[in-house]
Amino acid sequence: MLLCLSNRRSARRAAARQLDGGSPFPDRKARSGKSGWNGKGKRRGQVARTTASHATDEEIALARAALGKRNLVFVGLMGAGKSAIGRLIGQWLGVPFIDSDTEIERVSRMTISDLFANYGEEEFRALETRVLERLMKGGPRVVSTGGGAFMNEITRDVIKRKGLSVWLKADLDVLWDRVSRRDTRPLLKTEHPKQTLKALLDKRYPVYAEAEITVISREAPKEAVALDVIRALADHQAMHIQEAHK
């Protein structure tokens, strides 16, 4: 059941008190000044963050607690913003960020396009699965995945068992506007790339829906979408804490 905004805020505050040993946060509003920060750029007793100026301390704390020692794994179609948003979230939560495609290129010493061209999608997916299985063994960190990664049943099972998955869901026009700016998507090198993208959307969205959390990737600054992710994580953790104390 979805909670209304006021109920979500109340749930976050109650859950934050549980995390803080029963004491409410002294100031729920985001703080951007230097007061209270130590010499390393971290607020005493709080998670460090850079540009999360509109996220409250309790939201950041709850989002970080939602991970524990797990990885936060972003799934979704190409153009959803998994890398851009994931990198911001990693900064805000103070955990490492890894782009699985970049990691695949590092270990193979080939670009994603060259891997597809020389070995085909099946071999690429097998390598992708091995890389993600290795990444899931460590944590906590933020991981962005390729659009097809979550479609693999083995990979999906590993993410479900060892990570917290977030689907960045965008509509077709938003995705097309983003991916059409660059000619670097192997799966879109077809006669009718937008139709190909729609076919991928129709096929993959029912599977992406298995992710634990869904956040809309909309036409907005990446900081705004990242803030939506932080609040979704905070709500997820708040509900978990409430259920545990029933």
pLDDT tens, 89-125? 999 999 999 999 899 999 999 988 898 888 888 888 8
Residue type at 37? W
Does 68 map to a domain?
A: yes
Does 180 map to a domain?
A: yes
User: Looking at the 3D structure of the chain, how many domains does it have?
Assistant: 1
Does 38 map to a domain?
A: no
**Rounded Cα–Cα distance for residues 52 and 62 (Å):** 14
pLDDT in 10s for each residue of the chain, 246 residues: 444 544 555 555 555 555 555 433 333 344 333 323 233 333 333 333 334 447 888 899 999 999 999 999 999 999 999 999 999 999 999 999 999 989 999 999 998 889 888 888 888 888 889 999 999 988 899 999 999 999 999 999 999 999 999 999 999 999 999 988 777 677 777 778 899 999 999 999 999 999 999 999 998 899 999 999 999 999 999 888 877 766
DSSP secondary structure string, 32-68? Answer: -SSTTB-TTS-BTTS---SS-TTS-HHHHHHHHHHHT
Binding-site residue positions for substrate: 101, 125, 147, 204
Does 23 map to a domain?
A: no
Please give the model's pTM, rounded to 2 decimal places. Answer: 0.77
130: nearest Cα among 163, 165, 103: 103
pLDDT at 15: 53
Q: What's the CATH number where 211 sits?
A: 3.40.50.300
Classify the phi-psi angles of 163: left when phi > 0, otherwise alpha if psi is within -120 to 50, otherwise beta: beta
DSSP 8-class letter at 150: G
Contact predicate 77/84, CB 8 Å:
no
Binding-site residue positions for ATP: 79-84, 185
Binding-site residue positions: 79-84, 101, 125, 147, 185, 204
Does 202 map to a domain?
A: yes
Range of the domain at 203: 57-244
Does 118 map to a domain?
A: yes
Binding-site residue positions for Mg(2+): 83
pLDDT at 11: 53
Backbone phi, psi, residue 64, to 5°: -65, -40
pLDDT at 86: 96
Does 50 map to a domain?
A: no
- As a residue count, the chain comes to 246
Does 132 map to a domain?
A: yes
